[in-house]
Amino acid sequence: MTARVGDAPRRALTVGRVDVKRARLLLAALVLASSAFAIRYHDGHDFVNNVWAPVHGLLAGYNPYDPADVEYYLRYQVPVVAGLYLPTALLVHSPLALVKESRSADIMAALDALLIWLGVLLLIPPRTFRACTAAGFAGTLIVLSAPAQDTVFLGQLSAAAFAGLALLVASLRSDPSARWLPAVGVALVALKPQSAIPILVALAVLKESKVLARAGLILAATSLPGALLFLRVNPAPSAVIATITSNLNHLSNLPPNDLTNAANIRIDALGILSHLGGPALSGFAWTGVTFAVATVLLVAALRAMPLTSRALPDPNVVSVVTLYIVVSLIHLSYDQLILYTGSLTALYVITESERPSHHSHLIALGGIVLAAVGLFFRSGIRALMIEVLSPVLPIYAMWLCLPTLVVLGVVAIALMLDRHCSMSKVVT
């Protein structure tokens, strides 16, 4: 019997669909297995201290943000004053306040792992066999990395920031005129002020005024309940100022944040400077100077790019913006998670494009290095290195500095590639 004309293409199409289906099943297995592994150890004390207890405290008439409110500490058995997250964070996570403290920490650990995977799959949609493979490989490495481990263990909101940034990039990539999805992504990034301020400034620099306005509207509306509860326990303007000032002073002197403490876990510009043997430039004045300098560098970096590649979904722009968010204000080790966003965007370009740019390959390669660093500096390996090698501070310095320095190097080389390509086009 002879094969009919058209049978071969149909057979190839069927095989392709089967391959994609199998790849998606494998991807689903990786999501479940890696997430289960990631949430084995957690206590969620950051989530309890900064979200669960403050929700209960504000509703009961306490002031969770005042270091002098001893009754609040005793009532909810928290060791430290609550961080000044945006009130949106309290509203978004308020359903978790309905369950017991320990149960809320369990749910938050699982939620963090799923949010990380959500960010990966938003940036690399599993529509093809190649995309499924890339997403499975990259997502597994990220979920098992040190930043993800720290995020899950503590119940931190950096997973929400990562997923939010991914939603912002992916929604603008699929539809540059998208209205509300990018704004929701920005709101998730902005759950903490040290991420909120840089992302809003970056959007303004990128002239994403509509996204910026809608994000501001979402944040204002969702902050209203928490803000009203806060004003109920701080009715006078002087009380509000006193609470915020004392809160920031208290938290900035805690060991993880204090630059004068050699074992701090800061990964922002001032933190890296201190880890590399520079001076401990503590205080809000130095933070302000750093933010101003980082903003000028952001503007300069974006202007150095060709006009055709200045859209936010471009891998180079994503890398520049994430680097700006991390270094401009106070960030700690778990915030390294958002540095993966640019590399995942580059992986998507490579899997979907027939002729991806040189800087996409470079940024994707940087992501592999970033993932390797993240795996190498997991807490268990750090503890083993400290036990064998003894010098604690150099190991801490590598753990905290390398990811940011890798992205900084990738961004610098990518910008030079862009400039070289632009000059070549002008010459020809």
- Provide block-wise average pLDDT over 10 residues at a time, the chain (428 residues): 52 60 92 95 93 95 92 90 94 94 95 97 94 94 96 96 97 90 97 96 94 96 95 91 92 90 92 93 92 96 84 93 96 96 95 83 93 92 80 85 95 82 54
Rounded Cα distance, 116 and 161, in Å: 9
Distance CA 136, CA 145 (A): 14
Q: Is the dihedral of CA 69, 60, 196, 41 positive or negative?
A: positive
Could you tell me which residues come within 8 angstroms of residue 298 by beta carbon, excluding any fewer than 6 positions away?
Answer: 201, 202, 205, 320, 321, 324, 328
Backbone angles phi, psi at 61, to 5 degrees: 95, 10
Tell me the pTM.
0.92
Instruction: Show the tokens assigned to 123.
Output: 């940036």
Query: Which phi and psi angles does 357 have, rounded to 5°?
Result: -70, 165
Size (the chain), residues: 428
Q: Where are the domains of the chain?
A: 41-254+263-420
What three-state secondary structure class fits 84? coil
Q: Can you tell me the distance from the alpha carbon of 203 to that of 208, in angstroms, rounded to the nearest whole number?
A: 5
Fill in the DSSP letter of residue 338.
Answer: G
pLDDT at res. 6: 54
pLDDT score at 7: 55
- With b meaning 16 or more CB within 10 Å and e meaning fewer, what string describes 17-46? eeebeebbeebeebbeebbeebbeebebbb
Nearest to 352 by CA among 160, 66, 135: 135
CB-count burial class (<10 Å; 0-12, 13-18, 19+) for 209:
exposed
